[in-house]
Every structure is written in structure tokens, then in C-alpha cells.
Structure 1
């Protein structure tokens, strides 16, 4: 299910958390893709950037490409998009490899697909065009899509704000941890930090929990119980086998 918003005379589709990722076929810098079918069984970070040959986007692409191997260890692929054509993408990515150094990353080869979306069809399907920010460029949207093709988290940034790559990786780890262990993660969670246990359905359930607290479990109140899971156990559970 989606909601829609009107802006500058154009209708923008807004997928929501829990929705199936909208389907599309597109040409990319790595060939044609059918999304999300081609990524079945994989986590995907699908992100948009405002434009090729722009400085903030360049810093992001160097950073994202440099963490591809790290993301792959968590069964996660990157997929990029801007409302530029394939020739522009390819020329820009070549310049990144040949000329750009950012935070000691240089000669970076961007091998994840970047979608040709000069028509804006995919960007509008995913609500990446926000007329209040810019009617002709995509904002910095990030969609976290699980192996079943379901949208699990969404983050939006304005054109002027580069994304935090460490946070994108943290979100992937947190989502995979919650799925595997049936827990929630607190603010600023990192593997090895305590996780949050589901709230009991009733006081009887809370009493039973308090009477049977396992090692590593702590309850500060009926609604706030945590459990220790060692970082090694988390990493072993969520890293790609």
C-alpha cells in the first residue's frame, strides 16, 4: 500500500515501511535489472542522489563503493539512482576512479549498479522527488529492503547533507539482529550492546519473566527489559555464510 502527495502539479508515490518494494525494470551501469526480483534473498540499500558530477554525491559514492565488501559480508547490495542518463553516470564514475581522493580512498571503482532514470519514473515511484526541496533532482533517499523484497526502513536527507555510511551499516546490522533474535534495538545500538526484549502482553507475563530471568537479562520496569547478547554471537548470526 502507498500514500500519495501532490507537489508542483506532479503526483509523487510514497512507499511505506512494510510495503513490498515497488517493481521496476531499468538500465543501469551494470546492465538491465528487474527490481526487486533480481535481488531475491539479498538485503538491498537502494539510494538516490541528486546528480552526477556534484561534490556531495561524489564524496558519498567514494565512501559507499569503499564499503561494498563490508556490506557484502552482511548479504547486502547497493543500488544507486539519479535522474541522469547512463552516459552521464559512466563518465562520472570514471572520473571518480581517475581523479577523486576522499578520506584516503582513491582509485575507487564503483561497481554497484547506478540506475538511468532520466525519465524520473523510478524516482517518482519511490517518492525520491520532493518538489519543496527540488522539482528536478532526487533527494538523498535511502530504502532498506529485505530478502523478501519488503521495505524495512527509510531515511531521507536534503540535497546539502551527505549521508552517514556508518549509520547505514548499523541499520542493516540492527534489522538483521532483530529478525534473528526476535528483539528490538535501543538508541545508538551496536553489536555487543544490550538488546530490548518485547513488552509482555500482560502483568502475568511480566511476573513470569521476573521469576525466570535468565543470565544476562535485566528488567528496570515492566516495559523496559534488556538482554546481553555478545557481539561475537550477533556477528556470527547475521554475517553471510
Structure 2
């Protein structure tokens, strides 16, 4: 499904994985999901990425997010590779890898989801999988996508940060500014009139005055997502 747009329903694919056969929508249930792809098993950058994702898995779980990795090798390879990943994390031998890795040895999913990197090829001349990140909401719609080339490793702290922003802005009528971190000030969208903003945000609204005289930079304290 190349060219998938934000808001599109994510395909309910079925695939073999290190957790057995999974059907995406059933696996996610009412959770958020992050599907991220890797060029190949037993490769250095991918090993560091999956190691970091495994370290952060408990943080994603706190946010009701299920992680799913994808690589173009077999389930058997994934099981062997996951032992290397846990060793990279200095975990004890026998520690279980905390989330599934999908096997896509025929590159069918990578093709369908537009995950291939035409610039990076394996020794047989086949394109490697790019480093895609798809964030899927509980409604099974695509909420965010990031595409990195095979040669550039991702920042999973940033992926955790964007999940915080997506979950907040899904529940509250706010936007998050540049470099925002959870707990920081958020922005009041221009679509909310001044009078309504005062009622919506009892903590107060601060407006930064600009040379244009247009009062569009409005900030407020991050609202609690448990408020009603």
C-alpha cells in the first residue's frame, strides 16, 4: 500500500513472527502500535536499534504501546539474532526478547508498505528494507510515519517523545511546540477563539507578542489527560 497517508487505516496483515503468526489488528487490540522495519538481521546498526527499543519497552508499555519489528530474514534467524541483541544490552543469557520480530523473507510486506530503500542493496543486488517507523492508533489508523535510509540509525527517545505528543493531542485541543517534552508548556491552536481558550485552559493562556501584532503564539500549561 505505497503512499499511505496519515489517517488511513493500516492494513490488517497476517505474518509469521518470533511470537508465532500474528494478525496486526488482533495483536494490537485496543493498544497503540509501532511497526518499525530493519534492513537485515545480524547487522550492526539494526542490533543497536533493537537493543535500545528493548531497553525502552517498559516505557512504551506504560503508554499502552505495543512494539513490532520487521526484518527481511526468517523467524529462525530472528530468534538467533535476538540473543545477540540481548547480549548487546548486557542482559543475562536466556533473557526473552520483549516484542515480536516479523519475518518478511520474501519482502512482500516491505513492498506493500513502501519500506524498501532503493539506494541500499544486499550482496545479491536486492534492495534492503529502509528504517520506517509507523505509529498506529487504537483506531488502527496511521498517526505518524518517519522514513530513514538504511545507513542512519533511529532515535528511540524521539519516538517515545512523539508518542507522548500524539497521545496528548488526541485527547486535548493543544499542539506541542518544537523540542517539547512531556510536562512542558503546550500551544493553543489558532482555531480556538480567545474566549473559549480562557474556559478550556483554567491554568491560564500566555500570549507572546510579535512584531506582526498577530496573537497566534499562545501557550498554556500541559493539561492532564485525566481531566474531563
TM band (smaller chain):
0.7 to 0.9
Matching residue within 91, 114, 131 for 1:106: 91
Q: Does 1:78 align with 2:67?
A: yes
CA distance in 1, matches of 2:55, 2:203: 39
Q: Does 1:33 align with 2:18?
A: no
The match for 1:24 is: 13
Any conservation in 1 of the 2:120–2:127 contact (CA below 8 Å)?
no
Any conservation in 1 of the 2:17–2:100 contact (CA below 8 Å)?
yes
- Residue 176 of structure 2 aligns to a residue whose secondary structure is coil
- Residue 14 of structure 1 aligns to a residue whose secondary structure is coil
Q: Does 1:181 align with 2:206?
A: no
CA distance in 2, matches of 1:200, 1:136: 44
Any conservation in 1 of the 2:198–2:205 contact (CA below 8 Å)?
no
Q: Which runs of 5+ in 1 are unaligned?
A: 3-12
Any conservation in 2 of the 1:200–1:223 contact (CA below 8 Å)?
no
- Residue 165 of structure 2 aligns to a residue whose secondary structure is helix
Q: Does 1:219 align with 2:207?
A: yes
CA distance in 1, matches of 2:48, 2:197: 50
Matching residue within 222, 229, 238 for 2:222: 229
Matching residue within 56, 81, 84 for 1:95: 84
Any conservation in 2 of the 1:78–1:112 contact (CA below 8 Å)?
yes
- Following TM superposition, by how much is the alpha carbon of 1:214 offset from its aligned partner in structure 2, in angstroms? 4.2
- Following TM superposition, by how much is the alpha carbon of 1:27 offset from its aligned partner in structure 2, in angstroms? 0.6
Matched residue count: 215
- Residue 60 of structure 1 aligns to a residue whose secondary structure is helix
Any conservation in 2 of the 1:210–1:219 contact (CA below 8 Å)?
no
Any conservation in 2 of the 1:83–1:117 contact (CA below 8 Å)?
yes
The alignment's TM-score, normalised by the length of structure 2, stands at: 0.86
Any conservation in 1 of the 2:117–2:149 contact (CA below 8 Å)?
no
- Following TM superposition, by how much is the alpha carbon of 1:66 offset from its aligned partner in structure 2, in angstroms? 1.2
The alignment's TM-score, normalised by the length of structure 1, stands at: 0.81
Q: CA RMSD in A?
A: 2.2
Q: Which runs of 5+ in 2 are unaligned?
A: 209-213
Any conservation in 2 of the 1:61–1:110 contact (CA below 8 Å)?
no
- In terms of fraction of residues, the more strand-rich structure is 1
CA distance in 1, matches of 2:85, 2:14: 26
